[in-house]
Structure 1
Amino acid sequence: MRYVIIGAGAVGGALGGRLAQAGHDVVLVARGKQYEALRERGLVLQTPDGVHTHRLPVVDGPEALGTLRADDVLVLSVKTQDSAAALAAWGGRPVAGGGTAALRLPLVCAQNGVESERLALRTFQRVYAMCVWLPATFVEPGVARADGTPLTGILHLGRYPEGVDDTARAIAADLERSWFEAPVVADVLHWKYAKLLANLANAIEAVSGVLTSKEGIALFQRARAEGEAVLAAAGIAYTPKDEEKRIRADKIRFEPFDGSPRGGGSTWQSLQRGAGTVEADYLNGEIALLGRLHGVPTPVNDVLQERANEAARLGSSPGATSVAELTAAVDARCA
């Protein structure tokens, strides 16, 4: 199989780099400065076991790749706010032997949140959900960093909305030869909703800085409790925290390997590089949406969503607002 990584940033770069390092066929898809750097200098993946440079095929869109192969696997790793455009661009592409990508090819959503799979299933017939537990950072154009060892990531994978098949097993086998653990599970959404609850911290981290203070952790606990109440009202099951801990155990450790401190998560990174948008609408906003559908107030996540989006619009740096100020805004909304 050939892996077409649509969105070769932090997660996409780590996936593509490790797959290529294990001998798999990989094409990277990127735009702007990232595309230029990948084309000119290759993908540089910094890991605890060394710095690896991969000279891989890179394109800036589906037209540049031409007719897709029948054994292609499309891996969607853009932020969710960019999913609709990417799905529209790739879905109609012709595949060797006839048909289109949306009709014939598997599409794996390697993203936070649960919305991209729903968007994809409107047009793609073979959609797979991936719960991405992969600590990775976009360092600069062409350079990604993956801090985990001995595994680079744990990637639960399954058919969307549920089930498993031979394609999922084949993808997982390739990933497991590439420094990942990739459990194939019929209830992959249970893992994705559990990750959604954890990702409610992303907005706090981006707006107020990397979560280390008691005040920041307390605010996250309030956001998570709200999320758990919403999922209960909606009848949505998710993997319990003790099971997450048991499955992941100490399979991924963070070991400093170049002296530079670890930054924040995906939303923090979007603010840091001035992307102009963040994925809060599909994290905290997912809880807000479900809360409105099921009659559960979500003032904490409402404020976090609003403040993260505002920071992105204003081009604010990560941590520009104190935790105390953010907590005060939440308290005022809850009053």
Structure 2
Amino acid sequence: MRFIIYGVGAIGGTFAASLATAGHDVVGIARGEMLAAIRNNGGLTFRTPTDAQLVSFPVVGAPAEIAFQPDDVILLTMKGQHTAPALEELRAADVTTEAVVCAQNGVNNERLALRLFPTVYAMTVMLPADYVTPGEVICYGTPKRGLIDLGRYPHGLDENVAAIAAAFDSAGFAAFPLQQVMRSKYGKLRDNLGNVVEAALGHGSRSGPLMDAIQAEAERVYAAAGIDWVAVGNADPRRKGLMEMGAVAGITRTGGSSIQSLKRGTGTIETDYLNGEIVLLGRLHGVPTPLNAGLVAIGHELVARGAKPGSMSEAELRTRLGT
């Protein structure tokens, strides 16, 4: 089994470095400054609470550069706004029945993948990691680097699930095969609704009455849509003593994926596929979603004006959301 990590960023970089260090066959697909830095440096600099090392593994710039094999496991680790073109690149590279694992935030990626490929898996990733500097990824999870929920999409278990879970266990993660894995992904989506709040207000602003209201809006939508979900956030009892936030020498945590996008100036943000998913479901099922709709608009404005993380005050954000 070979792991193709499509998107070597915070999550993909942690996966690639961990799996490669554990002796698994890994190929990364990266782009831009990250691709150049890995090639120029002879590997990816990977920092954890216990050490820092330069991890070498093959890296290419596009799927077309890979001769895919039937037992390959393709892990999608790009953000949701980049999934559709990535899947088209895989199809153009003659990917057919290989396992495609959506190790991403949101719940839209799996449906897009299943339209093109028959063997699709959903993976919920609870993994505190940063990618801000090209060629470097920092993972804060300890003693396990992250928690992984995994199952076939839309539901079910099979031999691939067992093999992938075993590989991740060997690489320092705690993997949990789940028959109904999308329950976990909807729980993670509920937590990710704070990503754009953190991007607007700065790291550490993902709790309080405003977040409670944003998540309550999502819960009303879930109820109307008949969506079953399970909490996977900080209150998840699996985290206690298994995967907690550790300190990495000389490093201050940047924050979640959206705050990292603003800090790197990527020109895009994932809000359409996080808060925007709640807005879509609300429209489909007749549930008003003014808070999440407002956050979608704010996310796009932050990107359009090249805003830095924490550029809004809470008073300004509340005014914009009408709270």
TM class, shorter-length: over 0.9
> Which of 257, 273, 278 is 2:269 aligned to?
278
Matches within 5 A, 1:64-75: 64-65=65-66, 67-75=67-75
Q: Which stretches in structure 1 are left out of the alignment for 5+ residues?
A: 95-100
Q: 1:315 to 1:10 in 2, by over 3 A?
A: same
Q: Does 1:37 align with 2:28?
A: no
> Which of 132, 152, 168 is 2:161 aligned to?
168
RMSD over aligned Cα atoms: 1.5
- The two structures have a TM-score, normalised by structure 2, of 0.96
Q: 1:68 to 1:241 in 2, by over 3 A?
A: closer
- Does the 8 A contact of 1:204 with 1:211 survive in 2? no
> Using the alignment, how far apart are the partners of 1:244 and 1:107 within structure 2?
30
Q: 1:254 to 1:244 in 2, by over 3 A?
A: closer
SS at match of 2:156: coil
Q: Does 1:311 align with 2:302?
A: yes
Q: Does 1:105 align with 2:98?
A: yes
Q: Which residue of 1 aligns with 2:52?
A: 51
- Does the 8 A contact of 2:80 with 2:105 survive in 1? yes
- The two structures have a TM-score, normalised by structure 1, of 0.93
Q: Does 1:15 align with 2:15?
A: yes
The number of residues matched between the two structures is 322
Q: Which residue of 1 aligns with 2:132?
A: 139
> Using the alignment, how far apart are the partners of 2:13 and 2:312 within structure 1?
30
> Using the alignment, how far apart are the partners of 1:12 and 1:313 within structure 2?
26
> Using the alignment, how far apart are the partners of 2:105 and 2:272 within structure 1?
11
> Using the alignment, how far apart are the partners of 1:55 and 1:243 within structure 2?
33
Deviates more, 1:237-246 or 1:253-262: 237-246
SS at match of 2:176: coil
> Using the alignment, how far apart are the partners of 1:90 and 1:257 within structure 2?
35
Q: Which stretches in structure 2 are left out of the alignment for 5+ residues?
A: none
CA apart distance, 1:68 = 0.9
> Using the alignment, how far apart are the partners of 2:103 and 2:36 within structure 1?
23
- Does the 8 A contact of 2:8 with 2:29 survive in 1? yes
> Using the alignment, how far apart are the partners of 1:38 and 1:208 within structure 2?
32
Q: Which residue of 2 aligns with 1:301?
A: 292
CA apart distance, 1:212 = 4.1
SS at match of 1:104: coil
> Using the alignment, how far apart are the partners of 2:71 and 2:200 within structure 1?
42
Q: 1:305 to 1:47 in 2, by over 3 A?
A: same
Q: Which residue of 2 aligns with 1:225?
A: 216
SS at match of 2:147: strand
Q: Which residue of 2 aligns with 1:200?
A: 193
SS at match of 1:39: helix
> Using the alignment, how far apart are the partners of 2:99 and 2:201 within structure 1?
38
SS at match of 1:198: helix
> Using the alignment, how far apart are the partners of 2:232 and 2:108 within structure 1?
22
> Using the alignment, how far apart are the partners of 2:155 and 2:145 within structure 1?
25
Deviations 1:181-223 (A, max 9, x none): 110101100000000000111010001112348xx62211110
Residue type matched to 2:188 in 1? K
SS at match of 1:122: helix
Deviations 1:160-183 (A, max 9, x none): 000010011100000000000110
Residue type matched to 1:32 in 2? G
> Using the alignment, how far apart are the partners of 1:240 and 1:89 within structure 2?
34
Matches within 5 A, 1:232-243: 232-240=223-231
CA apart distance, 1:253 = 1.9
Identity %: 44
> Using the alignment, how far apart are the partners of 1:110 and 1:209 within structure 2?
25
- Does the 8 A contact of 1:211 with 1:217 survive in 2? no
CA apart distance, 1:259 = 3.0
